[in-house]
Structure 1
């Protein structure tokens, strides 16, 4: 971690309402978050409901914001696929046998391919498939069963869907937040997560993932590698958010110099001492995958899986910690 983080201060934030229509403040230019003052010696824990005396003030200023009043590809801040090859050799972001890079993480057993209007699949002409829909300031990433006549062109993937990343466009240390509804259904796997901008893996921060077969079961996880052994370690927790598929909630993660703190509706719910290897700023990824062979509670696509399913996102924002009177920047 760099010397850019020198001070950690805190401030208890007002809770964000649960519905987009009742969210007048949206993502303010300045935000405060409640941060626990316990020593950062605990490896990984749930926080529960902390006492006010164990919280301190943390002021932040906004560095990135998209409230999706226009198509996400019109402003140049998002890329609709993995932007480049990862340093991790086994990453294999393939769209299927024989396809190009960048269209899904095949190692997970995913059954969708990420498309955008310019994507041609096996062909040479764009297919015009758009998984992104904007309505009343809400972005929907829509997964659809692949039409039979396009199966071969799309490398026999069961679904088309969408991904947006800021790789190569925006990365930072600090606070990252999504306000969204978490869709459900067999094979449904929505996520908002972070990867290192240098292309390496891990580290990985999963700010929120949904287990499609378990309504209201949300997961927040940190992944890292032990240098001496190369072993991948993970620590995270499931949280029950009743009605998360029907109501908008804020899900966020704060990356401080000594710890990562996860938030639901701007209340801290878990934290972990920053593991080794968290050195490079991170970029944001939001996607709707279909099918998983490793992530429990998602399952493989079957006859009960929805024909179409939408991941509704009201906004995505990022903030930096105010460390100096002038708010020194560590955004790339």
Structure 2
């Protein structure tokens, strides 16, 4: 009996490690535990220790990038926000005003998103590459803008990177997941989020946002617009995850016809009834911003901000719900 109890104790001690090993891969078929009781109009935390009603849901993979090569090689991602129908193609790559699609000034961001083809105020590519791939891990790297390039790059404090699947992949309903480490530091704002493919805003699903000044603190939020008065509503929660800055974890959102469920390491942590306006397929965005005007716990870039910071991403995947 003593040997049996010792074996049970040993296996129990291995359970967290085994669970993390299972999360290292993105299976072609995925089973999730989902909430089944009626969701609320506002988001709620899911207490896994309580009597929450759960059921299994089967999904199949529809998108996957495990970053064994540079993210811009296969056309899955583009390194800027999309322009409108009248946006000249050349404006994506340089010239006055091209920064409009390479940062969100409204949010008070202090970086500009670059890629090797981008020229800033010049029409000649600057060759800046914020995307580094090492051992199957993508790093989006933010660095302080070289003094000589500041006038060419609209005087932004940092150069960094963004990847979006607009124009290459979007999906209505399903599960969307990133496996990543969350960088920290004053002004550091990593995110994995989704927007409607028709270009409207909101809806917006923030699968993951990190607060750089609060290590191991992350946020998951839903945004929508009230049709009666046009006001934008938001509902989300902060979650404390020890080790999030130096360990890979999975962060995901399941979008079904009646609810949005947020997951950490494929365990449901919050949900909400799908708000109005979530009609169109949505595309994925992953980026590392620097500086935030409205998003607490990030702050503006200062002398204490890191000279170089990396948002490490092991993979990004999407799944569609099986018909059964």
Length-normalised TM-score, structure 1: 0.87
The structure having more radius of gyration, on CA atoms, is 2
> What residue ranges of structure 2 are gaps of 5+ in the alignment?
1-14, 86-91
Counterpart residue number, 1:241? 241
8 Å CA contact 2:59–2:322 kept in 1: the answer is: yes
8 Å CA contact 2:180–2:312 kept in 1: the answer is: yes
Q: What displacement does 1:124 show?
A: 1.6
Counterpart residue number, 2:216? 216
Q: What displacement does 1:48 show?
A: 1.8
Q: Distance in 1 between matches of 2:24 and 2:182?
A: 21
> What residue ranges of structure 1 are gaps of 5+ in the alignment?
1-13, 87-92, 325-332
Matched, 1:262 2:259: no
8 Å CA contact 1:18–1:249 kept in 2: the answer is: no
- Local SS of the residue matching 1:101: helix
8 Å CA contact 1:202–1:224 kept in 2: the answer is: yes
> CA 1:126–1:16 in 2, change beyond 3 Å: closer, same or farther?
farther
> 1:37-60: CA deviations, max 9, x gaps?
211245310012155772101000
> 1:4-50: CA deviations, max 9, x gaps?
xxxxxxxxxx989686xx45760000001001121124531001215
> CA 1:24–1:318 in 2, change beyond 3 Å: closer, same or farther?
closer
- Local SS of the residue matching 2:148: helix
Counterpart residue number, 1:307? 307
Counterpart residue number, 1:132? 131
Q: Distance in 2 between matches of 1:294 and 1:97?
A: 27
> CA 1:174–1:149 in 2, change beyond 3 Å: closer, same or farther?
same
Counterpart residue number, 1:60? 59
> 1:105-151: CA deviations, max 9, x gaps?
11000000000000000112100000000000000000000000000
Matched, 1:322 2:322: yes
8 Å CA contact 1:179–1:248 kept in 2: the answer is: yes
Q: Distance in 1 between matches of 2:268 and 2:17?
A: 13
Counterpart residue number, 1:40? 39
* Number of residue equivalences: 302
Counterpart residue number, 2:176? 176
Counting only pairs closer than 5 Å after superposition, residues 64-103 of structure 1 correspond to structure 2 as 64-85=63-84, 98-103=97-102
From the two aligned structures, give the one with the greater helix fraction.
2
Q: What displacement does 1:215 show?
A: 0.2
Counterpart residue number, 1:159? 158
Counterpart residue number, 2:271? 271
Q: Distance in 1 between matches of 2:145 and 2:95?
A: 14
> CA 1:96–1:307 in 2, change beyond 3 Å: closer, same or farther?
farther
> 1:290-316: CA deviations, max 9, x gaps?
000100000000000000000000000
Counterpart residue number, 1:281? 281
- Local SS of the residue matching 2:112: strand
8 Å CA contact 2:96–2:121 kept in 1: the answer is: no
> CA 1:300–1:24 in 2, change beyond 3 Å: closer, same or farther?
closer
8 Å CA contact 1:16–1:250 kept in 2: the answer is: no
8 Å CA contact 2:193–2:206 kept in 1: the answer is: yes
Counting only pairs closer than 5 Å after superposition, residues 140-151 of structure 1 correspond to structure 2 as 140-151=139-150
Q: Distance in 2 between matches of 1:195 and 1:212?
A: 23
Counterpart residue number, 1:3? none
Q: Distance in 1 between matches of 2:196 and 2:214?
A: 29
Q: Distance in 1 between matches of 2:41 and 2:100?
A: 39
Length-normalised TM-score, structure 2: 0.89
Q: Distance in 2 between matches of 1:16 and 1:319?
A: 25
Q: What displacement does 1:97 show?
A: 8.0
8 Å CA contact 1:96–1:155 kept in 2: the answer is: no
8 Å CA contact 1:190–1:209 kept in 2: the answer is: yes
Aligned-CA RMSD value = 2.1
